[in-house]
């Protein structure tokens, strides 16, 4: 069981013009937000895997019925044309059911996940942009040693990310490309991770946009499991590769609505399956 196998999902916004730079509908890793520009995102997500990848990457039946429902909050604002401040967190509801003898055991927990506070600097005059971001990982303070469904690792850490992004064309359609490579270092348990993202989006019409993304999350092999008694409740020794897709509908007043889903393509020692997401964005 690994409740934390999902990485933070990609977050999108309406396109804007910045000092002559034409920016796509994306609040990703490589693009600047722009001085005085602000973006908010609310993203509900439902994930109920019934299969998992074993230590050898083989798909098998999950030993329990795990479910995770979350509401993700993301916001970023442009401090200058080059400097962007962003904030990311989520409130989650966890449930896990399994048979123990002739009894059905149900475990539940809910609360706030880690607060991620980042500062991104962008270089380039557009097509492409390059960026570097440093993000602080701040735990909300919940105990992790006395619960079978912990809400996080309970330790401070940081992300260091490098990004590249560009406006492109898909035939005659305006499109964009965004990429990110992130080193995640926790200050102590649970060990370090390497994350990667590749995203491509295109405007199917002035109102409709399609996005596909590929996310990888890999251990660097220097972690240790968190135990609840003699049972492992969080094991950082896992890898996964996730494919995501969504459609966005642009409305008036800087509002965008979206629907999407994701599927884990491969993994090791982690949950499999997929889930559904929704999006409400406001940019101004």
Cα 225 to Cα 36: distance, rounded to the nearest angstrom:
43
Closest CA relative to residue 269, chosen from 217, 197, 213, 228:
217
pLDDT of residue 209: 94
Is beta strand 255-268 parallel, antiparallel or unpaired with respect to 274-283? antiparallel
Instruction: Check pLDDT > 90 for residue 229.
Output: no
- Give the pLDDT mean for 229-235: 65
Q: Can you give 188-205 as a three-state secondary structure string?
A: CCCCCEEEEEEEEEEECC
User: Which residue ranges make up each domain of the chain?
Assistant: 16-283
Q: Mean pLDDT score of the chain, rounded to an integer?
A: 85
For residue 182, pLDDT beyond 90: yes
The answer to whether the CB of 38 falls within 8 A of the CB of 14 is no
Pair 27, 122: CB distance under 8 Å: no
- The share of the chain scoring above pLDDT 90, in percent, equals 63
Question: E-assigned strands of 5-128?
Answer: 16-18, 21-23, 38-47, 51-53, 59-61, 65-78, 83-100, 103-112, 115-123
Q: Over 50: is that where the pLDDT of 18 sits?
A: no
Does 274 score more than 60 pLDDT? yes
**Per-residue pLDDT tens digits for 21-70:** 444 445 678 889 989 999 999 999 999 999 999 999 999 999 889 999 99
Q: What is the pLDDT of residue 228?
A: 59
The residues pairing with 158 across neighbouring beta strands, listed in sequence order, are 136, 185
Read off the pLDDT of each residue in 80-84 and give the average, rounded to a whole number. Answer: 95
pLDDT number for residue 153? 80
CATH for 16-283 (2.40.440.10, 3.40.50.300, 3.10.20.30, 2.40.160.40) = 2.40.160.40
Least confident window among 78-87, 144-153, 223-232: 223-232
Whether the predicted pLDDT of 10 surpasses 60: no
Quote the pLDDT of residue 27.
61
Tokens of 93: 């509801």
Which has the higher per-residue pLDDT, 273 or 14? 273
- 222 band by pLDDT with thresholds 50, 70 and 90: confident
């Amino acid at each position: 069981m690994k409740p934390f196998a999902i990485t933070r999902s990609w977050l999108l916004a309406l396109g804007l013009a910045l000092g002559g730079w034409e920016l796509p509908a994306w609040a990703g890793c490589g693009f600047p937000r722009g001085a005085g520009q602000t973006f908010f995102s609310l993203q509900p997500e439902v994930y109920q895997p019934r299969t998992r990848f074993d230590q050898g990457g083989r798909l098998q039946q999950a030993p329990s019925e795990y479910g995770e429902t979350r509401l993700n909050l993301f916001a970023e604002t442009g401090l200058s044309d080059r400097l962007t401040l962003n904030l990311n967190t989520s409130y989650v509801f966890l449930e896990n059911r399994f048979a123990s003898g002739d009894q059905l055991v149900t475990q539940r927990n809910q609360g706030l996940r880690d607060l991620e506070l980042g500062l991104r600097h962008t270089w380039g005059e557009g097509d492409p942009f390059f960026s570097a971001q440093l993000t602080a990982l701040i735990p909300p303070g919940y105990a992790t040693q006395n619960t079978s469904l912990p809400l996080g690792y309970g330790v401070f850490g940081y992300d260091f990310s490098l990004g590249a992004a560009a406006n492109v064309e898909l035939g005659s359609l305006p499109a964009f490309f965004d990429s990110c490579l992130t080193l995640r270092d926790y200050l102590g348990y649970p060990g370090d991770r390497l994350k990667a993202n590749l995203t491509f989006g295109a405007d199917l019409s002035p109102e409709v946009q399609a996005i596909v993304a590929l996310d990888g999350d890999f251990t660097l092999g220097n972690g240790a499991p968190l135990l609840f008694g003699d049972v492992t409740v969080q094991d950082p020794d896992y890898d996964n590769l996730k494919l995501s897709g969504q459609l966005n509908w642009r409305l008036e007043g800087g509002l965008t609505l979206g629907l999407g889903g994701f599927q884990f393509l491969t993994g090791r020692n982690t949950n499999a399956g997929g889930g559904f997401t929704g999006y409400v964005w406001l940019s101004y």
